[in-house]
Amino acid sequence: MSMMRVFFRTIAFAGFAVATSVQAALPPYWQRAREFTAILESQDVARELQDAPITKVETTTQDRYRIWSGRCAVDVQLIGKARSNPGPRLFDLRVGKRKCIR
């Protein structure tokens, strides 16, 4: 195989690798939307809030949210999961116990 052919194949592969890694993550807006959707659809969150309506969602730190229902709140942490292929970030939710203020 000629050096030029090897060179062009290497360049093509490098370009593909860069393009693939760029496509791996969602833009921040859409990633946050996926996180909110997962939290709002979580049976664990609903159970901890005793099926009361959510009144506020706040970001406390990176990958941590506080979900309010009236005077009660539940802390939710996103736990990242490894991916074997490109795509949006995978995560599980760790839902804390409900805490109420008086």
Span 45-95, pLDDT tens digits: 999 999 999 999 999 999 999 999 999 999 999 999 998 888 899 999 999
The pTM of the full predicted model, rounded to 2 decimals, is 0.72
Whether the Cβ atoms of residue 88 and residue 31 lie closer than 8 Å to each other: yes
pLDDT value, residue 15: 58
Share of the chain above pLDDT 90, in %: 68
Q: Got the DSSP string for 32-94?
A: HHHHHHHHHT-HHHHHHTTTPPP-EEEEEETTEEEEEETTEEEEEEEEEE--SSSSSPEEEEE
63 phi and psi angles, rounded to 5 deg: 65, 20
pLDDT value, residue 26: 86
Distance CA 89, CA 100 (A): 32
Q: How confident is the model at residue 21 (pLDDT cuts 50, 70, 90)?
A: very low
pLDDT, mean of residues 25-53: 95
Tokens of 84: 């074997």
pLDDT, mean of residues 24-41: 92
